[in-house]
Structure 1
Amino acid sequence: VFVLPPGYQDHPDLDLYAYIYRYDYLDRLVYKKLPGCAPSYLVYDAAHRLVFSQDGCQRNDSLWSFFVYDVYGRVVVEGECSNSDKHVRTAGETVVLGTLMEGDTGLAYSGYQSSFDLVDPCVYVVNYYDTYDFRTRNGFSAYNFPEGTVSAIGNLTGSILCTHGSSGFIYSADYYDINKRIVKSLSSRVNGGMDTYATEYSFQGSPLSVLHTHTDSSGYSLTERYTYTYDHSSRLTRVSHQYDNNPSVLLLEHTYDELGRLQTDKLDNGIYATDYAYNIRNWLTGIEGGKFSQSLHYTDGLGVPCYNGNISSMTWKSGAGATPRGYKFSYDRLGRLTDAEYGEGPSLSVNTNRFNEQVTGYDKMGNILGLKRYGQTSATGYDVIDDLSLSYAGNRLKKV
C-alpha cells in the first residue's frame, strides 16, 4: 500500500515522500516506511502477536526489539536482542510464550523463560500479573513490598523498568480495590527510597484524594496530599494541596455554566480569577482576568469574518486601563494563515503594522516557505526584523 502526499507530484521521490505499508497473507503489517525514514520490519508468532520489530537504527546495530507474552496474551517481557534476521523470521512457526519459573532465573533474573531463544537479550520492561508472588524475587525483596489484600486476577500487579543510561532498575507494584481500581502504587527510586501513592475514590469512580509519600534512602519521609471536589455532574470544582502537616492550600476552583463549559477559574486560594466567554458554537470568545484580558473574534470583530473556526481578529489588554492591542488575520483559500496585521486602540488603527507577521508561501505539504516578522529597529522606527526562507528535504526542515 502506498500513500502519496501532494508533494510527491512535484518531486517523485518515494524515499522522501511516500508512506509504504506491506502486509502478509494474513493481512498483518510486516513492513512500514515513513517519509525520510528507514523501513521498520515487524514479525509475528503463530498466535498473530507482534514478537519482533526493527527500525533503521536497530538494523545498523543488528538489534531487534522483542516482546514475550504469557498464555493470556499479555506482554510480560520487552527488550532488545541480537538474533539474526533469519532466526527471527522463524518465530512465525511457533507460539512465543514466557513462562514464570521459581527463583531468580530467566530474563534479567525476572523468573520469565522465553520459549524462543533470544541472543544477548537486554531487558527493558518486565510485567507481573494476577498475584504478588514476585515480592520475594531479586530486586523486589530489598524494598519490602506488602502482600495484596484484594484479588488482582487479570490486572498488572508489578513491573521492573530498566533506566536507560544506567545499570539501575525501578521496581513497582500496584494494589487494587474490589472494583479493580488502583488504590495504592509503590515504586522504588534508582538512588534509593520509595514513592507511594494512595488514592481514594468516590462512588462514581472519581479520585477524591491522592496521598504521595516520598521516602529517601535514609528513611526520612515527606508527604503531600491532593484533594479533589466535584459537582453533581462529576465535574472537577476544587483542587487542594497539603504539604506534610502544613495548612491546606486551594490550588484551583472551577465553576461551569449551564452548558457545562468552564465559566470561572480561580487559582491560589482565589487570588487570581479568570472568566471565560463563548459564542453559540461553543468557541472561546473571551478571557477576562485581573492581570490580562483577551477577546477572540470569528465572524464579528475587525477582521474578515471566518465561519470555519479560524480567528479573524484578536485583541488583548495587560492590566486595567491598558491600551488594547491586537491583530487582524488573513488566510488563504485552504485556511492557512498568511498575514497577521498589528494595531492598537479600540479599532486597531493606532501604531499599525509595527509587529506584523507574514507567511510568504507554503509548499504542497503545507510547510511554511517564507516568514517575515516586523518589529522595532530603532528608537522610533519599525521595520522587518526577520526575513526567513525555509527549505525542506521531503517533509523535514533542512535549512532556514
Structure 2
Amino acid sequence: MTPNPEPTRVGLAHPIGAGVITALVGFTSSFAVVLTGLRAVGATPTQAASGLLAVCVAQGIGILLLTWRFRIPITLAWSTPGAALLAGTGVVVGGWPAAVGAFVTVGLLIVLTGLWDRLGRLIASIPTELAQAMLAGVLLPLCLAPVHAVKVSPAAVIPVVLVWLVLLRFAKRWAVPAAFGVAAVAIVVSLIVNNRTIDPGDLVPVVSVVAPHWTWQALVGIAIPLYIVTMASQNIPGTAVMASFGYRIPWRAAMSVTGVGTVIGAPAGGYTINLAAISAALAAAPEAHPDKDKRWTAAFTAGCTYLVLALCSAALVALVTAAPEGVVETVAGLALLATLGSALAGALKSDTQREAAVTTFLIAASGISFLGIGSAFWALLVGLAVRWVLTSRSR
C-alpha cells in the first residue's frame, strides 16, 4: 500500500514573493492613470507626485492594519476607475483645492457606508448596468489615446503598443508594466536626443498639502460620481473576489480604514483608497500559499512594498513630465482597456436596461460640462431618468 504523500511545505519566501508581485503589478499597471487623473483636475506636477505618494502610503498602512488585525489577505488599492473619472472630469470651479475637498467628502461617505447599512443598500440599488455604462463612457476617451498618439509620436508609441500586445499574449499580468518599461526607455532616449536633463531635486519625494475647499460643483461633479464608481467598481467587487477564495471581508472595519485613510491623505492629493478587486486575487489565491490561513503574509508584504514604492512617486512624475507627447497617455489607455471591456459587457448585459445604459454611456463619453458639473454626473442622472420612463411605460 502506497503511503499518502506529505503535504507540500512552502517557506515564507513564497508568500513574500507573492506580496511583492501584488504590489508591483498593482502599482506599475495603473500609476500613469492616477497621475493623468490628478493633473486633469488641477494638480501641478508636484501635487500629482504628492497625491501618488499619499495613496501609496495610505493603502500600504491600511493593508498592514487590516491584515495584522484579522489575519486574512486583505489588499487595498487606489481606484483606477476613479482616476479615469477624474481625467474625464477636468478642472471644476474652485480648482485643485475644490477637488481636494471632494476627496475628503468621498472618504467621509465611505466611512458612513460602513457605519450606516442604509447608505450601502442605496448604492447597491443603483442599477449595475448604468454604473458600468457611466464608467465605460468615462474610460472611452482615455482608451482612444493610443490611437491618437500613434499619429503624434509614432516612433515612441508603436514599440510601446507592440510590447504590450506580445506580453498580453504570453504574460498578461505583465503587459502594462512592460509597456511602461518601453515607454521609460523612449523617454530616456528622447532626453538624450534633445539634450535635456532631469533636475535631481525633482526626484526627491515631496508632500504638498493643500487646504480643502468645498464647492457644490466639485461635490456634485467629482465627489458623488467618484464615490459611486469606487463602491460599484472596487469595494463591492473586491468583497466578491475575496469571498470566492473563502474569505469574509470585515466590512465595517475595511470601510473605516479606507475612508479615514482617504480623508487623511486627501490634503496631500490622495484621491481615494479602497478594497482591491482584480489584484486582490494575487495575494488571496492558493498560488500565494497553499495554506489559506497563511496567505495574509502575502498581503502584509504587499503593504510594506507599497510604502517602498511611495518613495518613487516624484521620480515617476519627473519621468512622465519629460515624456514625448502621447506616450504616457498611451500607457494609461492600454492599462484601462480591460476595464473598459468589462464595463461595456456589464452595461449591455440586460436587454431591458440597454437603452438607458447606451444613453448613459454616450453622455459620459461626450465629456460635456453643464453648470460647472462634468459629464459623469449628468450621464447617471439622465440614464436613471430614461430607465424610469421606460420601466414605468412597460408596466
Report the TM-score, using the length of structure 1 for normalisation: 0.17
Highest relative contact order (Cα 8 Å, sep 6+), 1 or 2? 2
Q: Name the structure where helix makes up a greater proportion of residues.
A: 2
Larger Cα Rg: Structure 1 or Structure 2? 1
